[in-house]
Structure 1
């Protein structure tokens, strides 16, 4: 395990001989020209568009990498992926069905309907797979992209909308034409944004609900809008990434301790502003090349590992770090406060038991914050306090509240492309949604309806 190992995008561990070094990047990483490292802004994404052919691409995040950040934070975590999947399962529940809104006195309710022509079309496009993929994108990015095709016979007056196809939101970016002064999204560009090659970019106009057959192929885009944002929504999960990263990193530190019998000697903190300057330098170097090359965030990741590995080597054989490492401090005036930004190399007393106990407490707090931040009651995620399962009554009421408050908006966006197409293609008020059963207490239903008597082995 010797060398530098990345825990997440802000934490690393270095292993040198029998020592372990914990590296932490403090503050928010952002563009180096900013003088504020503790505050992240969301309004300036569109101010630095990416040139791709005849289009200006609005970056999704300051470095066009929010989907990647979410992926890298969530996937290694022991809780987040399961909780995300659980929300999808609770939304999908009994599966999709067709319905109409019916008025009964002063109340509205959903009445299931059967319509053979609509059902045949839904079956032809694989609607269940589309809705399941849409739900995944919605809970990770708060937006959904679907390609909508016009039928071939439309120009002859025979037909309208044809197939719908799910397009992974991970690869989609909003864009507008170079000469468009409004700078509002009009197109969607699909590409591998980590390895961008202009010839591999697919361009789609945004779907127009008022003229659904205007384009032979268009991109339907539905989002849960964020306050003050006219392009991308800020995903709900984004604010929880710091806690998710902390929850993920601690087990990896323990693994290094147990597998290698290592001693944690140094805790090294580096300011985010330092790496912001390195990012700017790398971007300038890329532009100075002949011909210019495109900057990739992986370049900064590689540079971090080189610098931290060199520091690990220096620390492994010295007691007085100051003799070998130049610690550059920067004082920036933020408001009325002087903020010190510099590397801090702090020796850790060899009290492993106390250190482990402290890390466990941090881990418990991080796990709690992860569950809370993902917006799912712990009882529904089978994550109770201290790892204990919650009671059946608590799970029941948590499910009822979830169905009442956390399903409708998600269902609206997940099903919107199909419902818009049903309206345009069949001129109907029939919609598609997800069928949910109202949960009841076991003692309130007959014995034959109870869970114990409805398992596959008893049927």
Structure 2
């Protein structure tokens, strides 16, 4: 028969077309073994979770330390907003231009649009970016519909509340536990603790395995790799907290407060020679030598009160002060009243340079150019020219791609699971970015899609 089709293994023969077909086996692209991590020695056999920090409270320690600093949270917020830009959108790679850049076309698909709206995708982006820049660990939760054939929602379980389960014999962490009291004595076995299956991002069949799973939701964990960390990554700026520079930033405000609280507000020191008091007593009709200690003290207080009123009354502002001095028989000047200005350390701005240096170390740890956010606390608050800012911002945005790829990874997984990538060729997700332009081009910004 002309329409007869013969199949033998990976080879088929189409009799009508007189054509042989070789079908590449799925095994040809399947890895020989599953990726895994070296198993970490179990130092706490009584608990099901892998502790985050020695006392399982590392995130809480980081948050507490950051809350005592005036810059950390604000700098992280800048990084979050710069990466978020104008949000994400689904698009289609339709080809490449002559420079090898992708040509992207927005995808206006009803099912994808419904997913973005119903799952509040913008909220996922913000929460994921916040956890990402605070901890380099994000725990997105993806949720199936009732039938289980579609993923209809994505949310984020807060990283500071999330903990990995211990590695199994294959070096894989199969679960994620969530409890807001982790770090405060909570355990995996507590009834308040939520337990989620963790999707292995390195699993070749992760989409198919999740489809076959009875789990209605799971955690698709994402992180930015740092060396030597099997469970929890370390953000680069965490090194600032562990360094003595953080101690410097904490000590300087305490010193300033103590200085302001305990330093007597003295502008001048007045020195009065002992020889003045017998003369003053005589002017007051008294004999200094016959006065008791209490009477001498009262006489001094009388003069000092008179002096204080003269110097402090508002009506006396700008008045001149006159004093006399005596000379000896030889014509030499004898000691009289002496007014000495006192150096004010607060007006000098004590430790401003140290504060600025500590701030510079923090911005370097954050990976931020001071041009973008200002030079830090102190007298010189300049942050460069407009051109410097524009160039620094565009460079910063150009280097965000690895971070954005991490954030978009769960969305690409959802696209595969829901069959969108099969239905829409070249489907992908991209951030919509505003690139700063020079004013001579007629506009301040130009909207671009950054890969």
Task: Report deviation, 1:115.
Answer: 1.5
1:233 matched to 2:233? The reply is: yes
With CA pairs under 8 Å and 6+ residues apart, which has the higher RCO, 1 or 2?
1
1:128 pairs, out of 105, 119, 122, with 122
Query: TM-score, normalized by length of structure 1?
Result: 0.61
Distance 1:217 1:450, change over 3 A: closer
1:376 pairs, out of 368, 371, 387, with 368
- How many residue pairs get matched? 309
Answer whether contact 2:360 2:375 (CA < 8 A) is retained: no
Give the equivalent residue in structure 2 for 1:361.
Answer: 353
Task: Report deviation, 1:231.
Answer: 2.0
Choose 1 or 2 for highest CA Rg: 2
1:86 pairs, out of 66, 78, 87, with 78
Aligned pairs for 1:100-119 (under 5 A) are 100-105=92-97, 107-109=100-102, 110-119=104-113
Answer whether contact 1:223 1:413 (CA < 8 A) is retained: yes
Answer whether contact 2:370 2:383 (CA < 8 A) is retained: no
Q: How many Å separate the matches in 2 of 1:218 and 1:73?
A: 31
Task: Report deviation, 1:136.
Answer: 0.5
1:433 pairs, out of 407, 430, 434, with 430
Q: How many Å separate the matches in 1 of 2:428 and 2:238?
A: 31
Answer whether contact 2:57 2:184 (CA < 8 A) is retained: no
Any idea what the Cα deviations from partners look like across 1:330-380, whole Å, max 9, x if unmatched? xxxxxxxxxxxxxxxxxxxxx9949x9663332221111011111111111
SS of alignment partner, residue 169 of structure 2: coil
Q: How many Å separate the matches in 1 of 2:86 and 2:438?
A: 19
Q: How many Å separate the matches in 2 of 1:244 and 1:250?
A: 10
Give the equivalent residue in structure 2 for 1:171.
Answer: 161
Query: TM-score, normalized by length of structure 2?
Result: 0.62
Give the equivalent residue in structure 2 for 1:413.
Answer: 406
Answer whether contact 1:143 1:169 (CA < 8 A) is retained: yes
2:253 pairs, out of 245, 251, 254, with 251
Task: Report deviation, 1:253.
Answer: 2.6
Distance 1:164 1:450, change over 3 A: closer
Q: Which has the higher strand share?
A: 1
SS of alignment partner, residue 438 of structure 1: strand
Q: How many Å separate the matches in 1 of 2:45 and 2:117?
A: 39
2:184 pairs, out of 170, 180, 195, with 195
Answer whether contact 1:101 1:108 (CA < 8 A) is retained: no
SS of alignment partner, residue 220 of structure 2: strand
Distance 1:50 1:81, change over 3 A: farther
Answer whether contact 1:149 1:217 (CA < 8 A) is retained: yes
SS of alignment partner, residue 53 of structure 2: coil
Aligned pairs for 1:139-150 (under 5 A) are 139-150=133-144
Distance 1:251 1:146, change over 3 A: same
